[in-house]
């Protein structure tokens, strides 16, 4: 089959890891008889440098017109001026909003042989298999007003935490659907003791829970959840939460897997164009040195094959190859080894 994939390598280590995922996808294409047509576009700091804006209308339109989008990472110190008119991250938010990808799936699995790479005790990590479903197009990231102004001689900054009922409903429903093919447990994370939006979140989650009696629903305050994630991660299955809480909790959860470099994500919505990206950032400190771990992006490309292109066998072929490669002892620097980005991918391709 024929597919059109937009690549947004972005900034920092983004281009290094995306090109490795493309090598893996090329192998999949020839093995399984598909054609992947890749078109590469700029988004993030690189787009600011070239076009003066973090994402252009044309780039967004090209993404919308493709079957799926594979992204590296955006941002870096070069574009961090607090007074800058545009920022790399704004492009990413415009892309998420533009594609309508309201649910960000972040699976966190602990590979048995990588337990040493995590600061947690192995007995805490045994059997950890969590799927965080992060709401991605609402909450503090997008709420209006969002501003900075002078008021009576004092400077004031405002961000708005806003949710509509339908935004909560669709993402929590998806979490329940996903839980059904897993351990049938949903942990809904909120701050209902303080936030009005969380009280509505909890109410809607409860209603959806009542309609899905085969799935166990547990509500948890975000502060408790941040603790439970490291004291009892094995007790969690699907975790569903609002945008900002999900951002913070998934960085924390990545510690379980030994390195952020290992973790993929899939962002899905109603439009049908999925966005796939590793959860790590642009890592400017190691950019250009060819030592970044490509696994997060390679596994993101597997999620792309599964969710957007409906190529299940191809997706699991990549996942199996990654698993085997790590089991065999291949390691980039972040997980305690010496392999370069390219060498790690070479090992994965051998196992394909």
Task: Please identify every residue annotated as catalytic.
Answer: 141, 191, 223, 247, 251
- Which of 12, 15, 45, 75 is the binder for ligand IPM (CB under 6 A)? 75
Residue 208 or residue 292: which is nearer to ligand IPM going by CB?
292
Peptide bond just before 111 cis, omega within 30 deg: no
Q: How far apart are CA 7 and CA 223, in angstroms?
A: 36
247 contacts Mg ion (rule: CB under 5 A) = yes
Residue 74 or residue 186: which is nearer to Mg ion going by CB?
74
Question: What residue 92 binds from ligand IPM, Mg ion, none (CB within 5 to 8 A, per partner kind)?
Answer: ligand IPM
252 contacts ligand IPM (rule: CB under 6 A) = no
339 DSSP 8-state letter: B
Cβ neighbours of residue 211 closer than 8 Å, sequence gap 6 or more = none
Residue 141 or residue 176: which is nearer to ligand IPM going by CB?
141
User: Residue 79 is encoded by which pair of tokens?
Assistant: 């574009």
242 contacts Mg ion (rule: CB under 5 A) = no
Residue 86 or residue 346: which is nearer to ligand IPM going by CB?
86
Single out the segment in contact with Mg ion by CB under 5 A; choices: 6-14, 25-33, 142-150, 244-252: 244-252
278 contacts ligand IPM (rule: CB under 6 A) = no
- Across-strand partners of 276? 70, 266
Using Cβ positions, the residue closest to Mg ion within the complex turns out to be 247
Residue 106 or residue 111: which is nearer to ligand IPM going by CB?
106
Nearest approach, Cβ of 12 to Mg ion (angstroms)?
Answer: 14
Q: How far apart are CA 134 and CA 261, in angstroms?
A: 19
Q: How far apart are CA 340 and CA 331, in angstroms?
A: 9
48 contacts ligand IPM (rule: CB under 6 A) = no
Q: How far apart are CA 68 and CA 151, in angstroms?
A: 45
135 contacts Mg ion (rule: CB under 5 A) = no
**CA 83 to each of CA 80, 87, 147: distance values in angstroms, whole numbers, following the listed order:** 9, 10, 13
Nearest approach, Cβ of 279 to ligand IPM (angstroms)?
Answer: 6
Strands 129-135 and 238-241, by their bridges, are parallel
Task: Give the x-and-dash track for 87-116 against ligand IPM (CB under 6 A).
Answer: --x--x------------------------
Cβ neighbours, 10 Å, residue 329: 10
- Selection from 100, 92, 84, 90 nearest residue 9 by Cα: 92
247 contacts ligand IPM (rule: CB under 6 A) = yes
Q: How far apart are CA 339 and CA 331, in angstroms?
A: 6
135 contacts ligand IPM (rule: CB under 6 A) = no
Query: Which residues here bind ligand IPM, judged by CB under 6 A?
Result: 75, 89, 92, 247, 279, 281
């Amino acid at each position: 089959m024929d597919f059109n994939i937009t690549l947004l390598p972005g900034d920092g280590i983004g281009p290094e890891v995306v090109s490795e995922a493309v090598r893996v996808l090329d192998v999949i294409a020839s093995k399984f008889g598909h054609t992947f047509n890749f078109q590469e576009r700029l988004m993030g700091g690189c787009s600011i440098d070239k076009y003066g804006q973090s994402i252009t209308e044309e780039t967004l339109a090209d993404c919308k017109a493709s079957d799926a989008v594979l992204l590296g990472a955006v941002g870096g110190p070069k574009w961090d001026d607090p007074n800058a008119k545009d920022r790399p991250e704004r492009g990413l938010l415009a892309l998420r909003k533009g594609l309508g990808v309201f649910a960000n799936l972040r699976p966190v699995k602990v590979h048995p042989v990588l337990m040493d790479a995590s600061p947690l005790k192995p007995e805490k990590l045994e059997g950890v298999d969590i799927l965080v479903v992060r709401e991605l197009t609402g909450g503090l990231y997008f709420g209006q007003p969002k501003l900075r102004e002078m008021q009576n001689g004092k400077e004031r900054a405002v961000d708005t935490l806003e949710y509509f009922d339908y935004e909560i409903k669709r993402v929590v429903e998806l979490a329940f659907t996903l839980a059904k093919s897993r351990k049938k447990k949903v942990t809904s994370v909120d701050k209902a003791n303080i936030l009005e939006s969380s009280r509505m979140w909890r109410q809607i989650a409860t209603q959806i829970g009542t309609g899905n009696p085969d799935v166990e629903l547990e509500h948890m305050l975000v502060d408790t959840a941040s603790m439970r994630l490291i004291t009892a991660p094995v007790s969690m299955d699907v975790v569903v939460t609002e945008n900002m809480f999900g951002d913070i909790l998934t960085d924390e959860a990545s510690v379980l897997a030994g390195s952020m470099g290992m973790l993929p994500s899939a962002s899905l919505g109603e439009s049908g164009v999925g966005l796939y990206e590793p959860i790590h950032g642009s890592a400017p400190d190691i950019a250009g040195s060819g030592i970044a771990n490509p696994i997060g992006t390679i596994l993101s490309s597997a999620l792309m094959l599964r969710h957007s292109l409906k190529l299940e066998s191809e997706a699991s072929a990549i996942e199996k190859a990654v698993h085997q490669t790590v089991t065999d002892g291949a390691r980039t620097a972040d997980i305690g080894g010496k392999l370069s980005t390219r060498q790690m991918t070479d090992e994965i391709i051998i196992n394909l």
